[in-house]
């Protein structure tokens, strides 16, 4: 009886039947009709219950989860329903979704013909890393009459998946950055300035080649102009430094700034390894977090992925002195450092600027500053009231202070990326390719 539920149609029928009995007091000739209708209703209800409970387990359900769901991705989930009975069922499917999704209105309605399989698909978008536990699948079965429902808990069992930094976005960025045939939106083609540093091969001269690279000895042997071809210097060090303090708590489109930084770190590390450079990681807040030495070994990307999965924000202020100490002790040789942080005011920058200048004197420092796209949207809206004018003025002042932060960093020779959170990965890769082509690293 715990799996038996009465539907709205059942109660509407009971209400109509009650009305017939009430009319029987005023119209005695209609009372036998009400009795007959009531007996017929009881018979139909009993037959409906028999069709629902005649089989022990009339429907099988199997669930297929994605192998490596990523943050911010639309990850597909597939369900396969098999009706093993000879009756057609109308099913309301309710999934016990992970608590992190905070989804309480999930329901799918499907029709299950006898002896056939029905596939149901949906997606879920995680906004944080961690373990996501899927409970069972609840099937509420009813017949064509729809007077009763039978609850059936499908034996899909609790399923646990680990939500990692987005591997899908990493692969997309890899295709955009390394594909030389087709052009993609987002990744810019940077013109090479000057020479590379490592010799690659000797090739025939074509118009447009740098005449300073002419190889006169090879030209005399071939009786044709030959030039030396160079490529970017390899085995350079790239470190991603992620600020885990409360400044990175701010959410945009459901993802915090730290989650955007983690996805971008995975993407740029993959590109650097594909370019034969060395990728490393340092995280910090009030204490030092993960520290992965820059390397280009085959398992380096997997090591970085596992370390990024474990990171969590801390409700404290960032200690930039600790960052300088980590850079001095852990980083050997001049390296490219990508600092993912967020300065909300000029005062916050002033406290960190002496440390950033010292780091920039030993390495090539690129500071990532996030643009508040929601406040920028307020400025573009048309003001209707006096309050709207005040809000727009405050928003413009905030955005102007952000631009002053970027100008201050440029003033002291610190490379800066001022980007919207959703464009972080693309802009970071563009900056890396630009610095490589200019020979600054």
Bridge partners for 214 per DSSP: 227
Is CATH 2.60.40.10 the classification given to domain 59-163?
yes
> For residue range 245-275, what is the model confidence (pLDDT) as tens digits?
998 988 888 899 999 999 999 999 999 998 8
Span 395-424, average pLDDT: 90
Q: Contact, 292 vs 331, CB < 8 A?
A: no
Span 201-221, average pLDDT: 83
Q: So what's the pLDDT on residue 231?
A: 60
Q: So what's the pLDDT on residue 364?
A: 93
> For residue range 26-50, what is the model confidence (pLDDT) as tens digits?
888 888 888 898 899 999 999 988 9
Which residues, other chains included, contact 353 with Cβ-Cβ below 8 Å and sequence gap of 6+?
408, 412
Q: Contact, 261 vs 248, CB < 8 A?
A: yes
Residue percentage of the chain with pLDDT more than 70: 93
Q: What is the DSSP string of 49-99?
A: HHHHHSSSS-EEEEEE--SS-BTTS-EEEEEEEEE-SSS-EEEEEEE---G
The answer, yes or no, to whether residue 361 has pLDDT greater than 60, is yes
> For residue range 154-204, what is the model confidence (pLDDT) as tens digits?
767 668 889 999 888 888 888 877 764 344 456 655 554 445 555 667 888
Span 135-157, average pLDDT: 86
Mean pLDDT over all residues of the chain?
86
Q: What is the model's pTM?
A: 0.79
Band of the pLDDT at 304, cuts 50, 70, 90? very high
> Cα(314)–Cα(328) distance, rounded to whole angstroms?
24
Assess whether the region 59-163 and the region 167-191+233-437 belong to the same CATH fold. no
Q: What is the DSSP string of 293-306?
A: EEE--TTHHHHHHH
Architecture of 167-191+233-437 per CATH? 3-Layer(aba) Sandwich (3.40)
The domains of the chain are located at 7-53, 59-163, 167-191+233-437, 198-231
Q: So what's the pLDDT on residue 238?
A: 93
Q: How far is CA 79 from the centre of its chain?
A: 23
> For residue range 61-77, what is the model confidence (pLDDT) as tens digits?
888 988 889 998 999 99
Coil, helix or strand for 213? helix
Q: So what's the pLDDT on residue 194?
A: 47
Nearest alpha-carbon partner for 259 in 169, 168, 165 = 165
Helix (H), strand (E) at residue 432: helix 424-437
The answer, yes or no, to whether residue 362 has pLDDT greater than 80, is yes
> Cα(383)–Cα(280) distance, rounded to whole angstroms?
47
Q: So what's the pLDDT on residue 200?
A: 64
């Amino acid at each position: 009886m715990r799996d038996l539920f009465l539907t709205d149609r059942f109660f509407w029928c009971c209400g109509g039947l009650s009305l017939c009995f009430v009319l029987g007091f005023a119209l005695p000739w209609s009372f036998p009709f009400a009795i007959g209708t009531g007996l017929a209703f009881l018979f139909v209800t009993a037959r409906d219950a028999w069709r629902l409970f005649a089989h022990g387990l009339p429907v099988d359900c199997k669930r297929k989860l994605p192998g490596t769901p990523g943050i911010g991705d639309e990850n597909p989930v597939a369900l396969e329903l098999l009706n093993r009975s000879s009756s057609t069922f109308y099913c309301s499917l309710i999934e016990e979704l992970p608590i992190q999704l905070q989804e309480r209105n999930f329901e799918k309605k499907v029709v299950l013909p006898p002896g056939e399989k029905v596939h149901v698909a949906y997606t879920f978008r995680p906004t944080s890393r961690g373990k996501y536990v899927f409970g069972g699948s609840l099937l509420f079965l009813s017949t064509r009459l729809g007077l009763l429902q039978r609850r059936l808990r499908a034996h899909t069992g609790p399923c646990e998946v680990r939500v990692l930094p987005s591997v899908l976005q990493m692969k997309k960025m890899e295709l955009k950055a390394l594909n030389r045939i087709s052009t993609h939106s987002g990744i810019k083609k940077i013109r090479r300035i000057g020479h590379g540093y490592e010799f690659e091969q000797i090739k025939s001269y074509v118009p447009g080649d740098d005449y300073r690279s002419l190889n006169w000895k090879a030209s005399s042997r071939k009786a044709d102009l030959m030039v030396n071809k160079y490529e970017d210097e390899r085995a350079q060090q790239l470190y991603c430094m992620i600020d885990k303090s409360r400044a990175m708590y701010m959410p945009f489109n459901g993802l915090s700034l730290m989650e955007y930084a983690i996805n971008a770190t995975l993407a740029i590390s993959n590109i650097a390894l594909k370019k034969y450079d060395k990728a490393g990681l340092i995280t910090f807040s009030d204490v030092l977090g993960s520290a992965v030495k820059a390397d280009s070994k085959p398992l380096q990307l997997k090591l970085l992925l596992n370390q990024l999965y474990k990171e969590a924000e801390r409700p404290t202020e960032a200690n930039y002195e600790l960052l300088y100490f980590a850079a001095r002790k852990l980083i050997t040789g001049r390296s490219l450092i990508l600092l993912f942080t967020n300065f909300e005011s000029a005062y916050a920058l002033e406290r960190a600027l002496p440390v950033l200048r010292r780091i920039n004197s030993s390495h090539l420092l690129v500071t990532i500053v996030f643009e508040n796209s929601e406040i920028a949207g307020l400025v573009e809206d048309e003001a209707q009231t006096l309050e709207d004018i005040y809000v727009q003025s405050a928003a413009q002042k905030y955005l102007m202070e952000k631009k002053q932060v970027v100008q201050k960093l440029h003033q002291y020779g610190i490379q800066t990326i001022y980007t919207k959170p959703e464009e972080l990965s693309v802009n970071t890769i563009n900056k890396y390719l630009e610095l490589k082509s200019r020979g600054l690293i």
